[in-house]
Structures are given as structure tokens and as C-alpha cells.
A and B are shown apart, each in its own frame.
Chain A
Amino acid sequence: MPLIRSMRNIGHRTVDTIWRVGFAARFFVLILLNSGMSFRRFHLTVKELFFTGVMSLIIILVAGLFVGVVLGLQGYETLKSYGSESALGTLVALSLVRELGPVLAALLFASRAGSAMTAEIGLMKATEQIAAMEMMAVNPIARVVAPRFWAGVISMPLLAAMFSAVGVFGGYLVGVVFIGVDEGSFWSQMQSSVDFQHDIMNGVLKSFVFGIAVTVISLFEGFDAPPTAEGVSGATTRTVVQSSVVVLLLDVVLTAIMFRGI
């Protein structure tokens, strides 16, 4: 009976998804419980900060610049029809700081650093490096996973801030330098409209939450990957897809709470 078979498949998938969410939550708690070493031996976290944060910098800065330039061009065209070109700085800054900075930086972070974390841990598992560590009486969650988690959580807000800063510069470049919007209006309107608490800190909070979500998903998928080439490749794909969906979903929830007070 095809109907019963498809219903059974849906049931299996649902149960499997709930199991995985439960395992991921348990994994997150285990990371927090085993985080002591990440701070006692901070050089382990610093090493991972280099791989997750510094190595993601180029793509974040380039993407931020392009997004800022496009925002400047599109924003100018729209504002010009209302005679409000001087508000270009406000539009660029608020768009970046509140939304585009945290969200796009998180999506790029998931693609660049998240997928790399999943592949690295998945391969460590496939080549028995994780098992070897266990047999050497070294807890892999504390030694391998937790430093990467904290590196991701620390780097994400910094990367989002850099994305926004470079984006604002891109908007300035196209709006002020190339199109000729008044420089004083560009900066002064931005300064008067962007609120530190309401806009900047909420953006930082968003990127912090995205950092936790993307890093936990990446590490869990790597740790849970079947120890085969196919398994690691599937886990890497799942990391990017799940991280992107979760970031966008969290963005909806956080925006609703922060800016609409729901």
C-alpha cells in the first residue's frame, strides 16, 4: 500500500528528526559542561579563532563591501524619487547593522567556517582520530569540539561588525564619492538615526545567537557524520542547509522580539 508506506516514511522521518534535535541539544549541553579547557588552555581556542575567524575575514570583507555598494546604488535611486538622498547614510547603516550584517555574515560563516568544521571533525572521526583520542583518555568534546565552539561564538559578532563597517564604507564610496551625495548629511543623518542600544546592540545580539546556532549545527553534524566519504559529504551539505534555514528562522523570531516587542 503506497499510502501506508509514505505515511510510515513520514513517521520515521519525524521521529528521526526529533531524535536528532534531542541529540543536538544534549551535545550542546555537553559542550558547555566541557568548556573549562577552552579557557584554561586558551591557546587551543585562539588557534581555532584563527581558522574560523581570521580565515573567514576575506570573504566577509569582500561580501560586505559589495553589499554596501549595492545598497548605496539601490538606496540612492529610491530615495531620489522622494527627494531624500541625504538619508542614504541612514538607510545603508540601519539595513546593515540591524539585518544584513548579522544575517549575511552568518550565512557566509556557515558556508566557509561551518562546512570546514563539519568536514574536519567528520574526517577526524572517519580516520579514527576521535576514537584514538578517547582511547588516550582525552575527552574529544573538551579537546576538539569546545574550543571550536567558543571560537565560532567569539568570531561571529566580530565578523558581523566588520561586515557592517565595510558595508557602510561601500555605501559611502558609491553614494558620496561617486554619486555626490553630501558627505556631511550622509554621516550626520546616520549618526542621529542609528541608536547604539536599539540598533547596534540588537545586531550584536543577533550575530551572537547566530554564531551559537551555526557552530553547534556544524560541530554536531561533524561529530555525528557516518565515518565514510559519503557520510562526511552529506554532513557538510546538511550543515550549510540547516544553518541557513535556522539563521533565517531565528532572524524572524529575533526581529519580531527586538523591533516589534512581540
Chain B
Amino acid sequence: MSLQPIVEIRDVNFTYDTRPVLKGINMTFHKGKVIAIMGGSGCGKTTLFRLIGGALKPTKGEIKIDGQVMHELDQAGLYEMRRKMGVLFQFGALFTDMSVYDNVAFQMREHTDLPEEMIRDLVMMKLHAVGLRGTHALMPAELSGGMARRVALARTIALDPMLILYDEPFAGLDPISLTAIGSSIRQLNNALGATSVVVTHDVQESLKIVDYIYFISDGVIVAEGTPAEIQASDKPFVHQFVHGEMDGPVPFQYPGGDYKTDLGVSA
């Protein structure tokens, strides 16, 4: 297996207005790997996801994809880079005015001069890979949530990307759809020889399919390792997250004033 890094994140800081969201993040993603970025809500993982996709520019540091610094690219360069990437959004983001077939064919028609017969074959192959070839004539509104996510996955891999980004791919799915999406992510990554980055909350499903995990909390990486290392970790944050404990380093109560004062009860 090649160890050529596809994504290099070096000392990335990001600030919204004056609020620091990411502080000195360093990550390296190698070809062929599936990497999970985990953390609680508001920890900065979606911001990191958007930075990798080039939708945001870091306040400090750099993100290199395939050797190119993302924030130094102009729009043409950024679009050229994005043609090598696939992004699966949290709820699929299928184009609601197009059929399943047209959704999957969208990028092929936009970016290639392939004849329609060849596009048809490719679309059917992509839909077959996610088990939904039979839905090609349906509209997105006719699909269940899990099916829509799988169609979106077929659309994501339409042009055989080298890097696939998944934003909360397991959110709101039933157990069957969850397993289908999880195994599809792993299998498609292996088949395409791509690199996949999964931003997720779902620890148990991720542990089954990923090669490496980063935990982010309060804008910094608090733990990282293989699934086996993570499961064996005795770090309080990792333990709380993996075992779904209500209280711990991530407190149950949002910081506030004195409870008795809020209730109007004297001490």
C-alpha cells in the first residue's frame, strides 16, 4: 500500500470573528485509508470538513491536497481540485428537480463529453454499487432517507474521486441503512483506491469501517489512533465518547451562573 499523503493539514487555525474554532490542527491522510474525525457538537469538525473542501480559508496554517495548498488556489484551480473530490452531505443534498438517474449523471454531463449511452452505463454501474439500480426513474421525494443517502453516495463517486468527504453519513438512519452506508463507504473506498474522510458522531459504526480516528474537542486534537487503540484508550474524553457517558470531560451542564441564584433561592 502506498504511503503517499493525499491530504496534509499543517498547524491549521480557524477563527470565526474573534472566536477560535480550530487551534493548531495537524493531520495526514494517506491514499487508500478511511479516516474518521469525531467530536461533540460544536467542536469544530464541520469547520475542518469545510476547510478541507476549500469552502473556507484557514486563519493560519495550510491544507494541502494532492500537493496543492487549497487556500492559494484561484476559483478555476479550486474547481479543478474539486473535480477530483467527492462530497456526501449530511442529508444527501440530492437535486430535487431531477430524477435519481439525472442526479448521478449530473457531474458526468457537466464535466465530460461522454456520449449519453456511456453515461447511462456508468450511472447504472454506480447505482448498482449502492444497491439502487432499480430506483433510477424515481424522484428524490420518492426515496426513503436511507435510499436518498445511498443515491447521494452513488452521485459522490460518479467521477471516481481520489478523495471522498462524508459529512455525518450515518445521521438519522435506521440500522439496516446504517450498515449499508457504512459497508458501502469501506467497499467503495477500496474499489476506487480513494481516500475517505468521515466526519461523524457515530462511534460504533465508524469503529467497524475506518483505519484511523481523530478526536477533536474544543478545537484541538485530543486523541488519535486506530480503532483498536481508541477502544483500548484510557483517556477520559475518549472513554466518555466511545461509551456514550453523559458526564465527564464534556460536561452535561452548559456553563452558567450559580444555580441557586437562578432559582432565586438564597445560599
Binding site for B on A (CB under 8 A): 123-124, 127-129, 131-132, 134-139, 143
Return chain A residues, CB-CB under 8 Å to B147. none
Bound: A134/B79 CA distance, A = 8
Bound: A123/B93 CA distance, A = 11
A135 contacts B53, C-beta separation under 8 Å: yes
Partner of B87 from A124, A132, A139 at Cβ < 8 Å: A132
A132 contacts B93, C-beta separation under 8 Å: yes
Can you report 15 A-B residue pairs in the complex whose CB atoms are below 8 A from each other? A123-B96, A124-B95, A127-B93, A128-B89, A128-B93, A129-B94, A131-B89, A132-B93, A135-B55, A135-B82, A135-B85, A136-B87, A137-B110, A137-B111, A139-B79
Q: What's the nearest-Cβ distance from chain B to residue A33, in Å? A: 12
Known: A137-B80, A137-B83. A127 touches B107 (CB 8 A): no
When C-beta atoms are compared, the residue in chain A nearest to B80 turns out to be: A137
Give the size range of B's interface with the partner: 20 to 34
3 A-B pairs with the lowest CB-CB distances in the bound complex, closest first: A137-B79, A132-B93, A128-B93
When C-beta atoms are compared, the residue in chain A nearest to B81 turns out to be: A137
Bound: A138/B89 CA distance, A = 16
Return chain B residues, CB-CB under 8 Å to A131. 55, 89, 93
When C-beta atoms are compared, the residue in chain B nearest to A138 turns out to be: B110
B90 within 8 A of A: yes
Beyond A129-B93, A129-B95, A139-B79, 7 additional contacts (C-beta under 8 Å) are A127-B96, A129-B96, A135-B85, A137-B79, A137-B110, A137-B111, A143-B110
Bound: A123/B94 CA distance, A = 12
B121-175 CB contacts (< 8 Å) to partner A: none
A136 contacts B53, C-beta separation under 8 Å: no
Q: Mark B225-252, 1 if CB is under 8 A from A, else 0.
A: 0000000000000000000000000000
Return chain B residues, CB-CB under 8 Å to A127. 91, 93, 96
Q: What's the nearest-Cβ distance from chain A to residue B80, in Å? A: 7
Bound: A134/B54 CA distance, A = 10
A128 contacts B91, C-beta separation under 8 Å: yes
Q: What's the nearest-Cβ distance from chain A to residue B83, in Å? A: 5
Bound: A132/B92 CA distance, A = 9
When C-beta atoms are compared, the residue in chain A nearest to B88 turns out to be: A132
Q: What's the nearest-Cβ distance from chain B to residue A129, in Å? A: 5
Partner of B110 from A124, A128, A129, A136 at Cβ < 8 Å: A136
When C-beta atoms are compared, the residue in chain A nearest to B95 turns out to be: A129
Bound: A118/B110 CA distance, A = 24
Return chain A residues, CB-CB under 8 Å to B90. 128
Which of B53, B78, B87 has the most CB atoms of chain A within a 10 A radius of its CB?
Answer: B87
Bound: A124/B96 CA distance, A = 8
Q: What's the nearest-Cβ distance from chain A to residue B176, in Å? A: 24
Bound: A143/B85 CA distance, A = 19
Bound: A138/B111 CA distance, A = 9
A136 contacts B106, C-beta separation under 8 Å: yes
Return chain B residues, CB-CB under 8 Å to A139. 79
Bound: A128/B87 CA distance, A = 11
Q: What's the nearest-Cβ distance from chain B to residue A141, in Å? A: 11
